Amino acid sequence: MSKSRVTVFLRSLPLWLTMFLGLSMIFGSAHASYQTERPVQHNGGIVNQTYLYGEAFGSNQHRGIDILDSNGTDVYAIAAGKVVAVREYNNDGQGSYFGNYVMIRHTKQHWDSDNNSNFYIYSIYAHLKHNSVNVALNDLVAAGQQIAQIDNTGNSSGNHLHLQIVSSSSSNKNDPQEWAWSQNESINPEMWIEPFDHNGTQTATMVGRVSDSNGNKVGGKYITGVQKPPTAGGRQFWISINVQL
């Protein structure tokens, strides 16, 4: 059996936790990611802990994260890019699937090491408030630009933002409800959005990769982790490590 080593990229983790992770995590690798801004800044944009990325949704899985906040809370672009899809004809509590939405193709690309090529990154903002979307198709947006507001349109049981990040080799994606793509090529947004200081305790994310003894990437494996303080839905210095062997 060949030896493998882990390269881990940590963001604002306590020293003891960093040391623990460095000693305890073996055999895995991370999909590359780059840090983006948070789509909701009010109260840090706390992610709903009862319906996380990958949790069961009927026969499918939840392919995004939900940020619960009041009707009319501002929503921001997580990174610079171009608006490639907009829908905004549903009133509060009406519509199907994503309801009102905006989709942005981001300027900065993502290195997909499994395919050895740059992939485009798209972000989807769903369940938006009617008449709150202030960007139009083909608009260029900046990171942190306010683009819409939270509501309860589409398949939704309360006011929240559904954020989904999806990759593609194509620059021509224009339908977030193309399920064969957006469900199968999604990426956990919690690994991308920047940490935040929540009531004095820093949240954090990490990604990692594994290489063999010669420094070559070991494919098809990844490590991810999220630290959340109690007030943000986690436990103090708790980290969830997802290692795929």
DSSP annotation string for 163-210: EEEEEES-S----TT-HHHHTTSEE-GGGTBPP-EETTEE-EEEEEEE
Render pLDDT for 57-96 as a digit per residue (tens, 0 to 9): 777 788 999 999 999 999 999 999 999 999 999 888 888 8
Using alpha carbons, select from 133, 173, 170, 128 the residue that is nearest to residue 152.
128
Q: How far apart are CA 141 and CA 6, in angstroms?
A: 36
DSSP 51-119: S-TT-EETTEE--SEEEE--TT-EEE-SS-EEEEEEE--PPTT-SSTT-SEEEEEESS-EEETTTTEEE
Burial status of residue 106 (CB atoms within 10 A of its CB: 0-12, 13-18, 19 or more): buried
- Which residue is listed with tokens 């630009």? 145
CA 219 to chain centre: 22
Three-class DSSP category at 24: helix
Please give the share of the chain, as a percent, with pLDDT higher than 70.
66
Which domains are present in the chain? 4-32+197-243 (no CATH), 47-191 (2.70.70.10)
In a structure prediction context, what are the per-residue pLDDT tens digits for the chain, which is 245 residues long? 444 444 444 444 443 344 334 333 333 233 456 789 999 988 778 888 778 888 887 777 889 999 999 999 999 999 999 999 999 998 888 888 999 999 999 999 887 777 778 899 999 999 999 999 999 999 999 999 999 999 999 988 899 999 999 999 999 999 999 999 998 899 888 888 887 766 666 666 655 556 666 767 666 665 556 666 655 555 433 344 444 44
238 near 13, Cβ under 8 Å?
A: no
- Containing H/E element for 221? none
